[in-house]
Structure 1
Amino acid sequence: MGEAITDRHVVAALRPFVRATGPMVDALREADPFGLVAGSEAGEAGEEPELKPKSRARLVEGLRSVRVPGTTAWSRMAAGERTDWWINRVGRFTSLLTAVPGLGGALADRLPIQDTLGAASQGVLLCAIAGERGVTDVGDRVRLVAWVLFEREIPAELAQGRFAGHDTAEEDAETGKLTEELDESSRRYGKVTLKASARTLWRLGRSLLAISDELEKRPSGRFYHHAIGMLPVVGMVGGYFGERAGLKRVAKRADEWFARNT
C-alpha cells in the first residue's frame, strides 16, 4: 500500500497547477477578441469613422453582441450566465480532448490518462468560474479545486503554502514549466494557439499525477457512460458524455462552495 496522500501533498500539487491555470483563463476573460470592446468604446465616444460602409458597421455591431469574453454583451452577463458559458461552451472542447483516450476502450481505461486530462480540464474550468465570482487568490482557488474535485476541506493557511517544507522557489519553477507552451505561443504568434492550449492541458494533467489516487474522486459520468467507455472506438462517445455529465456536477458543487465561502 502506498503512502497516504495528505492535505499537504494536495496543496503542493495544486498551487502550481492553479497558478499556471489562472493566467490562461484570465487572459481569455480579459481579452478583447476582434477589438470589439475598443471599437465599442470608440463608437460611444463618437470616434467611429463617418464613412464606414453600412455592411461593415452591421458586422461589427453583430460581433459586439456575441457573448464571449471581452465583448460588451459579456460584461452585461450575470456570474451564473458566465459560468454556464464556460461549462457548456469551453467544456465541450475540454470534454472532447479528455474523451479521446476512450478510442482504446478498456486498454485506455487501465491507464490514468482520462482521469489525468479530466481532472485538469475540470480544474481549468473551476479557476475560470472562480474568476467570474471575483475569487482570484491562489489559496482560495486551491481550496475550491480540492473541495469540488477531491472532497478535501483544506485549511486556508495550508492552502496559502504556509507549512514546513514548502519551497517557494520550487513552486515558481514548476509553475513556469507548466506555462512554457503558452509563453512560447504568445512570443511566436502573439496569441495562445489551440495546439498550445491542448499541450498545456496535458502538462497540467501530468502535474497532478503526484496525487493520482485523488483523481478517481473527481465528478464523472454515470455507470453506463463508463460501461460504454470500456468498448473500443465507441468508448470515446461514452467518455465524452461522461465528462459532460461530470462537468455539470462540478458546476453544482462549485455553487455550493461559493455559497459557503464567499
Structure 2
Amino acid sequence: MDNRTVVTALDRAVAIIDPVLDVLAERDPVGLKARTFRRPTVEDTAIDTVLDTLAKTLNATDFPGTAAWLELDAQARSWWWVARIGAVNTVAVAFPSVFGVLVNRLPLQDLLGFANQAMVLVAVARENGVTDRSAHVSMLASVLCGREVVREGAEPDTSSTPTPKRECGPFALLHAMWDVAAVLRDVSSELAKRPHSRGIYRVLSAIPLVGGVASYIGERGALSRAAKQGIGWVHANAESPSHVGSEGASRMIRVSQ
C-alpha cells in the first residue's frame, strides 16, 4: 500500500477526532465546569448546592475546562486523556475477546484498537502544543504505521469524511471511535502495525470469557506505549515551527508514491 493512500485515510480520521476533542474540552452544557471556579455564597439556593456538589465531583476528575484541569501540566493533561479515553474506548476494543480465538481472528479488534490509539495520540499531541492537522497525520503515520511522510501544503480531501456528532461525554468518544474505524477500513493492511498487547495477554485473550479481561489489560498497556511513542515523536519534532500551533491546520500531507 502506498503512502498516499495511508495518509488520506489518516487525514480523514483526524478530521473526525479533532472536533470531538474540542467538544469534550470546551463544551459546558449545564455550567458545571464554570462552577468549579466559584465559591458558595449566602444567596445560594438548594439547586445551587446540588450543582456545586456535582461541579466538585467533576473537578475531582480533573476534567478539561475545570479549575483542577488548569493546575495540571502538559504531561499530566496528556495522561489524563490516556486514562479517560482508555477507560471508555478500550472496553469496546477488548470486548470481542470475550468470545475467544474465533472472534480474535477477525480484524475488528485491530480496527477499533487502531482508532482508539489514534484518538489518544491526537489528544496527547494537542496537550503538548501540536495543533496542526497535518502534523497529527505525520505523527499517526510514524507511530502507528511506521511510515515517515513528507509534508507539503495542500487542501485536504474531506468529501467522504463523516461529520462529527456534536455531543459531549463518553458516547462522544465511542461514536468518534466507530467513525474513525469506518474511514480506516481502506488501510486494513496497516492496522496490525500499531502497538499491541504483550504476548501473555494475547495468549489469554484467546480463551473465551476470560479473554475479554486479559485483552482489556493488554490493550491498556498497548495504549500507554502508543502514547509514550507519541510524546517522543512530539519532542523529536518540536523544533519544526510548522508542527506547533500552526494556523494551517487545513493543510494536507502530500507524499510521494
Could you tell me which of 133, 139, 159 is aligned with 2:128?
Answer: 133
1:215 equivalent in alignment to 2:191? yes
Is residue 2:16 matched to residue 1:56?
Answer: no
Q: 1:200 matched to which residue of 2?
A: 176
1:55-134, aligned counterparts within 5 Å? 56=49, 59=53, 62-63=56-57, 65-66=59-60, 67-134=62-129
Instruction: Please list every run of 5 or more consecutive structure 1 residues that lacks an aligned counterpart in the other structure.
Output: 163-167
> Does the C-alpha gap of structure 1 residues 105 and 37 become closer, same or farther in structure 2, counting only changes over 3 Å?
closer
Q: How many residues align?
A: 235
Would you tell me which structure has more helix in proportion to its own residues? Answer: 1
One-letter amino acid of the counterpart of residue 5, structure 2: H
Question: 1:87-107 CA distances to partner (integer Å, 9 max, x unpaired)?
Answer: 122212111110011122111
* 1:243 Cα deviation after fit: 0.6
Task: Report the equivalent of 1:28.
Answer: 24
Measured after TM superposition, the shift of residue 196 of structure 1 is 5.4
| Residues 1:38 and 1:237: Cα distance change in structure 2 (over 3 Å) | closer
- Gap runs ≥5 in structure 2: 239-257
Equivalent pair of 2:33/2:59 in contact (CA under 8 Å): no
Q: Deviations over 1:7-60 (max 9, x none)?
A: 11111111111011110012111233752443356x48xxx7542159929636
Q: For residue 52 of structure 1, what is the amino acid of its counterpart?
A: D
The one of 202, 209, 212 aligned to 1:236: 212
AA aligned opposite 2:56: G
Q: Give the Cα–Cα distance (whole angstroms) in 2 for the partners of residues 24 and 131 of structure 1.
A: 13
In structure 2, what is the Cα distance between the partners aligned to 1:131 and 1:40? Answer: 23
Aligned-partner Cα distance in 2 for 1:194–1:40:
21
TM-score normalised according to structure 2 size? 0.82
- Residue identity over aligned pairs, in percent, reads 34
Structure ranking higher on relative contact order (CA contacts 8 Å, 6+ apart): 2
What RMSD, in angstroms, separates the aligned Cα atoms of the two structures? 2.4
**1:257 aligned onto 2:250:** no
Cα displacement (A) at 1:209:
1.6
Separation (CA, whole Å) in 1 of partners of 2:4 and 2:68? 41
